[in-house]
Amino acid sequence: MTTAVSPALTDAVTRSFARRTRWTFAIPAAIIAYLAYAAISFDLAGLAQRARFDNAAILLGDFWSYKTHVTRDNRTGRLEVAIEGETKGTYPNGMLPDWVTTSGTTTTIDLGAGNVVTYDDAGARFVVPGYGTIDIRPVDGKPVLTAPAPIPDWISVDENKVSVTTDAGRFSYARSKVETFRYQPGWELWFFTLDSPFYGKSWGQLLALATTGDRIDPARSNLGYMVSEFWTNKMWRHGDVVWAIFETVLMAFLGTMTAALVALPLGFLAARNFMPLGIFRAAVRRIFDFLRGVDGLIWTIILSRAFGPGPMTGAIAIAITDTGSFGKMFSEALENIDEKQVEGVKSTGANSLQRARFGVIPQIMPVLLAQVLYYLESNTRSATVIGAIVGGGIGLLLTQAIITQKDWEEVAYYMVLIVLMVMLMDSLSGWLRRKLIKGG
């Protein structure tokens, strides 16, 4: 295979190879250089110092567990047991979790695995297995610690406060109060709050109550009572959450569908084969560009000034932005239709409206539906963000829960719900798309 190759061709091939080699190295190098510039401009080094990984630990812990505060006021001697330390989760008088016992002024808290905390008149004691007894007594109002030396680093001693952190729980003794936190897995009070008569009952007991048990509230059936207790759960607010999700989906649905309905006739005006007047066509197109270019964010801000917060504001904002996107897509689809069908309909004496209805719409319907359904799904996500700005729907609940910076179990709950909602809308729109387009 030694045919003579013209030197010009060899040169050309070699040059082309060299160019390609240069490109293969130049592109990754450019990307890496850009990322390096971005890392510097985003101050990645500073970020590592600012990052609060203890916050991440709190957050992850709250995702799967809850803590119960057992607090004694050192001045009045009053004992309070509250889930997450919230008023909504405070045990009512005379009711305590089974790991807290009181007799007179002595309170015993069993943290499990031999860890026992005792509050009494003399002060407080924490028995840690494998270490010994941590004994704290107030002297002139200040806590004084007696514990086996050397004091390990999980006990921190301050002038006014002694705190102990163990795997079984956290304990802190300050001048005004002594507190013990116990961590347990799960989302407590998810079904019923402590003041509900159904709290702490097993599934079997609940079933028995719902079907055969005597009425707790003579005015209504036990099942109805149960549902209303669940729906109005003060801790998790299931009723509000369901409404919020519904509002978010409503925003997406109304916005998308309204945009499609408005954009369809406007799309005809912007298509070359339906609108011969060039100036008019260009004007409609510029309107589409404007609607799309002024971002959803800006529309949301402007509209929430006029209509106030709520789902309608969000729906209108989505509708306006998407009218621009749909208008552009529909007019492009209209320009690509097959004219023969329209001519066929025209030959039967159809007027322009009938030509559009029977000659054009059936052709663009699949494209149109596919786009609308795709946007419906993606707008469910946008509606979450818009909700956070205009104040409506699950986005608002989520941002509120995050801003308080302590209800992380609720944040986790909302996140799960949002992901489920989006996935559900995704499969719903996919299913409808297959059904309508293949079947049609």
Partner 1 sequence: MVDVAFGPEQGQRPDLSNTREAYLDMVRRKRMYGGILLVLFVSLMASGWWLADRRNAGGFWDGLPQTLDFPAEVLSEAWTNRANLPGLLWKYVPALIETLNIAAVATLLGALAAMALSLLATRGLARWPRLIPVFRRSMDALRAIPEIVIALVLIYVLGGGPVPAVIAIALHTGGALGKLFSEVAENADLKPIEGLASVGANWSQRMWLGVIPQVAPNWLSYGLLRFEINVRASAILGFVGEGGIGYDLKLAMQWGQGRYDEVVAIFLLLFLTIVLIDRVSDHYRHKLVKGAML
Measuring CA to CA, which residue among 264, 243, 262 is closest to residue 393?
243
b or e along 104-119 (b: 16 or more beta carbons within 10 Å of the residue's beta carbon)?
eeebebbbeeebbbbb
The answer to the question of residue 306 lying near partner 1 (CB under 8 A) is yes
Q: How many Cβ atoms sit within 10 Å of the Cβ of residue 214? A: 7
Task: Tell me which DSSP letter residue 99 carries.
Answer: T
Measuring CA to CA, which residue among 99, 93, 94 is closest to residue 68?
99
Draw the binding track, 337-376, toward partner 1 (x: CB under 8 A; -: no contact). ----------------------------------------
The answer to the question of residue 398 lying near partner 1 (CB under 8 A) is yes
Q: Rounded to the nearest whole angstrom, what is the least distance from the CB of residue 266 to partner 1 in the complex?
A: 18
The one among 55, 156, 232, 352 contacting partner 1 by CB under 8 A: 55
Task: Report how many residues bind partner 1 under the rule CB under 8 A.
Answer: 64
Residues 58-77 that bind partner 1 (CB under 8 A): 59
Backbone dihedral region for residue 82 (phi beyond 0: left; psi -120 to 50: alpha; all else: beta) = beta
> What is the C-alpha to C-alpha distance for residues 409 and 314, in angstroms, rounded to an integer?
27
Contact region for partner 1 (CB under 8 A) — 64-72, 182-190, 263-271, 292-300? 292-300
The answer to the question of residue 419 lying near partner 1 (CB under 8 A) is yes
Measuring CA to CA, which residue among 199, 201, 220, 221 is closest to residue 211?
221
CA-based radius of gyration for the chain: 34
Measuring CA to CA, which residue among 379, 384, 369, 365 is closest to residue 431?
369
The answer to the question of residue 309 lying near partner 1 (CB under 8 A) is yes
The answer to the question of residue 282 lying near partner 1 (CB under 8 A) is no
The answer to the question of residue 315 lying near partner 1 (CB under 8 A) is yes
Contact assessment for residue 116 and residue 180, using Cβ atoms and an 8 Å cutoff: no
> What is the C-alpha to C-alpha distance for residues 68 and 85, in angstroms, rounded to an integer?
7
> What is the C-alpha to C-alpha distance for residues 402 and 411, in angstroms, rounded to an integer?
6
Q: Tell me whether residue 127 or residue 424 sits nearer to partner 1 (CB atom).
A: 424
252 CA to centre of own chain = 16
Q: Tell me whether residue 206 or residue 287 sits nearer to partner 1 (CB atom).
A: 287
Q: Tell me whether residue 340 or residue 438 sits nearer to partner 1 (CB atom).
A: 438
Q: Tell me whether residue 3 or residue 41 sits nearer to partner 1 (CB atom).
A: 41
> What is the C-alpha to C-alpha distance for residues 403 and 397, in angstroms, rounded to an integer?
10
Contact region for partner 1 (CB under 8 A) — 10-18, 66-74, 111-119, 422-430? 422-430
Give the H/E segment covering residue 120: strand 115-120
> What is the C-alpha to C-alpha distance for residues 376 and 165, in angstroms, rounded to an integer?
49
Q: Rounded to the nearest whole angstrom, what is the least distance from the CB of residue 315 to partner 1 in the complex?
A: 5
> What is the C-alpha to C-alpha distance for residues 355 and 335, in angstroms, rounded to an integer?
15
Residues 24-43 that bind partner 1 (CB under 8 A): 31, 34-35, 38, 41-43
Q: Tell me whether residue 222 or residue 313 sits nearer to partner 1 (CB atom).
A: 313
Q: Tell me whether residue 95 or residue 419 sits nearer to partner 1 (CB atom).
A: 419
The answer to the question of residue 292 lying near partner 1 (CB under 8 A) is yes
Q: Rounded to the nearest whole angstrom, what is the least distance from the CB of residue 97 to partner 1 in the complex?
A: 30
> What is the C-alpha to C-alpha distance for residues 217 and 209, in angstroms, rounded to an integer?
12
Draw the binding track, 249-268, toward partner 1 (x: CB under 8 A; -: no contact). -xx-xx--xx----------
The answer to the question of residue 297 lying near partner 1 (CB under 8 A) is yes
Which residues are CB-contacts of 55 (< 8 A; sequence separation ≥ 6)? Answer: none
Contact region for partner 1 (CB under 8 A) — 49-57, 90-98, 168-176, 365-373? 49-57
Contact assessment for residue 287 and residue 270, using Cβ atoms and an 8 Å cutoff: no
Q: Rounded to the nearest whole angstrom, what is the least distance from the CB of residue 377 to partner 1 in the complex?
A: 10
The answer to the question of residue 270 lying near partner 1 (CB under 8 A) is no
Contact assessment for residue 291 and residue 316, using Cβ atoms and an 8 Å cutoff: no
The one among 51, 151, 227, 282 contacting partner 1 by CB under 8 A: 51
Residues contributing to the site for partner 1 (CB under 8 A): 31, 34-35, 38, 41-44, 47, 50-53, 55-56, 59, 247, 250-251, 253-254, 257-258, 289, 292-298, 301-303, 305-313, 315, 381, 384-385, 388-389, 391-392, 395, 398-399, 402, 405, 411, 415, 418-419, 422-423, 426, 439
